[in-house]
Structure formats: C-alpha cells, structure tokens
C-alpha cells in the first residue's frame, strides 16, 4: 500500500501541473500544434513539483505540520478544479464523448501514428529503447539507498529532519550551531542550500509513512521521464519530424552522466538542468507566440531555477541575452556583440577582484585546466559524443547560427559556455576540474539545452535553401 500511495501522490502532483498549464492556455481555435501535448505533459511535472514545494513552504511558515492530508488534499482539490474548468473551456459540454475525443487527439498528437513504413518502425524501436532504459533506471532508483556523497551530507539531511519534525526547522553551519542553544538548529554540510529538492523527498517520505532511503528518490526518475516528454514536444513544436524529435529525446536521455544522476539519485543537478532547459524553451516559445500561458510558465520555471540550487541565480542570467534577441530579432547581432563585450568586461573585473560569489572564490588569476576539460568532454565516457557533435555541428552550420530562427538559442548557449569557462578559469572551481569532481556536474546544467541547440542547428543547416545558406 505504501508503494501505491507513493505513486498516487506523485502522479497527483504531476496531474496538478498539467491541469494548471492546460487551464492557463486559451481554448484552441485551431488544431493543436505538433508537440503541444507532450510538451504540456512534460512541463506539467516540473510545474507541479515546484508548486508542491511552494505549498509545503507555506504550510511550514503557517505552523501547519506536514501530512498526507495537509499537503495532498489541497493539491488534489486544485488539480480536480483546474482539470474540470479546463475541460469545460476546451470542450464546451465536457461530456464523456468529449473527454474520449480529447484523449484520442492527445494520443494522435504524440506523433508516431503519422509515420509510415521504415520510419514508423524506427520510431517504435527508438521508443522501445528509451522505455527499456527508463525501466532499468527505475529499478536502480527503487533499490539503491542514498549513495552519492553530497546526497547524504547536504541535501537529504534536511529532508530527513524535516520529515521527522513535520516542518522546516532551521539548519546552521558549524560555528553558528555550536553557538546556538540545544535544539535551536540542526547541522549539515550546506545549511544555505535551497529547500526545493529536500522538500520533494519529504513528500515521498510522507506518502510512504517512513523515510525510505531508496524510495524517497522516485522524483529523480520521474524528472527524467518528464524531461523526455518535454524535449520531444519542444522539438516537434519547431516542426521537426516525430522520428527526429524522438531521436533528440533519446540523445538527452542516453547521456551517461545524466543517467548517473537518475540512478544515483539525491543531487540537485538533474533538476537544475531540466528546469533551466525548459525555462529557456518557455521564454523562446513566448517570444514566438506571445501566449500568456508561456509567459507564466517561463516565469515560474525561472523562479524554480533560483530555488533549486544556488548557481541557478547565475544560470538564469545567461538566458537574458538570448531572450532579448528573441524579442528583438532585428537587433540580434547587436545583442550578440553586446554580450561578448559585457562578458569580457565582467571577466576582467572579477579576475582582478577577490570575491566569494555563490560559494566560489574569484581573484585566482587565469588558470584554464585545458587538459582536464579535454579529458572530461572528449576522452572519458561521461558524455558519449555530445561535445564532438556540438563542435561538428558548429563547424557545419556556422553560417546559420545567427539566423533569426536560431540566433536566440545560439546566444543562450554561448552565454552558458562563457559562464562555465569563467568558473573553470577564474575561480577556485578550476582546482576541482583537475580531479573531475565538479566539471561534469556543472556541465550537466547546460547539457540538455546544448543537445537541443545541436539538433536544431543541424536541422536548420540541413533544411536551409542553398541560395540563402549564408543569409544572416
């Protein structure tokens, strides 16, 4: 029964997110765009998970103890009301026949049924491959207790205590903890880390009725599943074929380091990568369609990035130049040049200044660990051929990278790479690159978006008319 409660509770949270996003969207006057349904399903998980943690913060602030009813009952009520209103708005009568029609349309819009012959066989084979991989990862998540170092020294410590206490009691570092009266605060290795990830584990434990070191990590597997839906939908939205879009989702899910963060659950980096990717996609969708629903989704996902991990504050800033170029495409080249100039000035100033920013110390001078980065990205098995593919596509499609259809994402990727390079070259994080302790986790934050850019850049290059290939 505990397992049933765990799955029911998290699927209810997922349904909440889907229902809220569907409610925010106006009733479609035209057939649903390609990719709309899988994108809504995927983003629904992330929105629902984030809203759940906001609600748990509110309960804690109000002095209401955590419990299945205090947390879950309002979530269920909002999901049901939002779903009912959304169904009434989109179908008018909302009867059983209308509901069945909506489900049938949703299944058709997932894409595979529109293919024929060998392409359909390839689509189904690739879908089976992804399903098998996810099944293996689910087995890993559900049997392996908390294992990675940071998971049980910096993240799950908070979850374990908050579950036992039924509320968000404060944490403090060693000096403050020793100075405080007994019981005034609890201690772990990172008391300043955001609460979003631990709160998801608290909800799992609440559903189970105990803190099971393995099962509390189910959200990591659900994050991978939802990310696959969202990436597939975002590529279909960009008019890619169902087979190409599914291949894009497979590329992301097959990244070894991403799979490690699912199987060895407990870190915040997987969630950071997923929320950052979908925040960027939502902002670009809003710039393209100007839908209030996309704006609301982009804002919420951006706020979530800040509340998942401290570097999220900097990662959100890397989206600014690309989003600006999306809203003002005529000035995209100016935005690109302005970004390069601003990045150079900021790097120069911070390199000469000793500061501690988001836990990293600047003023160490320029020390780019070229060999360690080359080993991490091109020699070791953490990334398959992602970085090789990025370089190859960049060389093939360089004339198209600042084309209006691709420039916003190109500038966003450039900003993310500059942020990583600055951290490795001008802060004490460079020392952690040498022993491969940080480079892969930091790069994972950008990796799904980097894969999306690679796929879209190759698609844009391969489908561009030869006469306009150099037209920027």
**For residue 77, what are its two tokens?**
């009520």
Q: Is the pTM of this model over 0.95?
A: no
What per-residue confidence (pLDDT) applies to 239? Answer: 85
Reported as a pLDDT band with limits 50, 70 and 90, residue 112 is low
What per-residue confidence (pLDDT) applies to 28? Answer: 52
| 152 backbone dihedrals φ, ψ, rounded to 5° | -110, 10
Minimal CA–CA distance to 215: which of 10, 42, 70? 10
Q: Which residue has the higher pLDDT, 16 or 471?
A: 16
What would the mean pLDDT of 311-323 be, rounded to a whole number?
92
Using one digit for the tens of pLDDT, what is the confidence trace for 209-240?
Answer: 999 999 999 999 999 999 999 999 999 988 89
What per-residue confidence (pLDDT) applies to 90? Answer: 63
What per-residue confidence (pLDDT) applies to 300? Answer: 97
Query: Which residues, in sequence order, are CB contacts of 192 under 8 Å at separation 6+?
Result: 173, 310
What is the spatial distance between Cα 250 and Cα 4, in angstroms, rounded to a whole number? Answer: 29
Reported as a pLDDT band with limits 50, 70 and 90, residue 96 is very low
What per-residue confidence (pLDDT) applies to 31? Answer: 47
What would the mean pLDDT of 115-126 be, rounded to a whole number?
85
What would the mean pLDDT of 244-249 be, rounded to a whole number?
94
| 66 backbone dihedrals φ, ψ, rounded to 5° | -70, 140
Whether 49 shows a pLDDT value over 80: the answer reads: yes
Give the count of alpha carbons within 13 A of 2, CB side only: 11
Whether 331 shows a pLDDT value over 50: the answer reads: yes
According to DSSP, the residues that pair with 360 across neighbouring strands are 357
Whether 125 shows a pLDDT value over 60: the answer reads: yes
Helix (H) or strand (E) holding 187: strand 186-187
What would the mean pLDDT of 294-310 be, rounded to a whole number?
96
Reported as a pLDDT band with limits 50, 70 and 90, residue 105 is low
């Amino acid at each position: 029964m505990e397992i049933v409660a765990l799955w029911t509770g998290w699927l209810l949270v997922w349904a909440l997110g889907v229902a809220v996003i569907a409610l925010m969207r106006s009733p479609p006057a035209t057939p649903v765009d390609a990719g709309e349904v899988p994108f809504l399903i995927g983003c629904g998980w992330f929105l629902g998970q984030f809203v759940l943690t906001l609600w748990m913060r509110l309960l804690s602030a109000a002095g209401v103890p955590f419990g299945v009813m205090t947390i879950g009952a309002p979530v269920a009520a909002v999901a049901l009301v939002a779903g009912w209103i959304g169904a009434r708005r989109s179908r008018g009568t909302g009867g059983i026949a209308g509901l069945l029609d909506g489900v049938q349309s949703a299944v058709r819009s997932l894409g595979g049924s529109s293919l024929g012959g060998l392409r359909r066989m390839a689509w189904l084979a690739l879908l089976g491959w992804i399903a098998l991989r996810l099944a293996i990862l689910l087995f890993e998540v559900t049997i392996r207790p908390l294992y990675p170092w940071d998971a049980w020294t910096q993240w799950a410590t908070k979850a374990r205590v908050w579950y036992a206490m039924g509320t968000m009691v404060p944490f403090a570092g060693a000096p403050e903890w020793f100075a405080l009266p007994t019981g005034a605060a609890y201690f772990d290795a990172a008391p300043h880390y955001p609460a979003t990830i631990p709160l998801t584990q608290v909800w799992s434990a609440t559903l189970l009725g105990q803190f099971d070191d393995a099962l509390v990590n189910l959200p990591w597997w659900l994050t991978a599943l939802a990310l696959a839906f969202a990436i597939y939908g975002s590529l279909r939205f960009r008019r890619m074929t169902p087979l190409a879009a599914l291949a894009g989702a497979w590329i992301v899910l097959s990244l070894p380091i991403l799979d490690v963060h699912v199987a060895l659950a407990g870190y915040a980096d997987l969630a950071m990568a997923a929320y950052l990717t979908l925040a960027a996609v939502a902002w670009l969708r809003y710039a393209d369609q100007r839908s209030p629903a996309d704006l609301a989704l982009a804002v919420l996902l951006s706020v979530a990035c800040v509340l998942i991990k401290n570097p999220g504050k900097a990662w959100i800033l890397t989206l600014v130049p690309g989003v600006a170029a999306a809203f003002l495409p005529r000035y995209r080249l100016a935005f690109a040049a302005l970004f390069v100039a601003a990045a150079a000035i900021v790097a120069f100033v911070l390199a000469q200044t000793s500061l501690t920013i988001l836990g990293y110390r600047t003023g160490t001078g320029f020390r780019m660990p070229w060999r360690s980065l080359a080993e991490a990205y091109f020699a070791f098995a953490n990334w398959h051929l992602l970085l090789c593919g990025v370089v190859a596509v960049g060389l093939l499609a360089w004339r198209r990278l600042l084309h209006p259809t691709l420039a916003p994402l190109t500038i966003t990727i450039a900003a993310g790479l500059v942020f990583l390079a600055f951290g490795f070259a001008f802060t004490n994080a460079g020392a952690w690159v040498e022993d491969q302790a940080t480079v892969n986790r930091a790069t994972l934050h950008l990796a799904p978006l980097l894969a999306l850019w690679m796929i879209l850049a190759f698609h844009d290059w391969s489908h561009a008319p030869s006469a306009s290939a150099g037209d920027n």
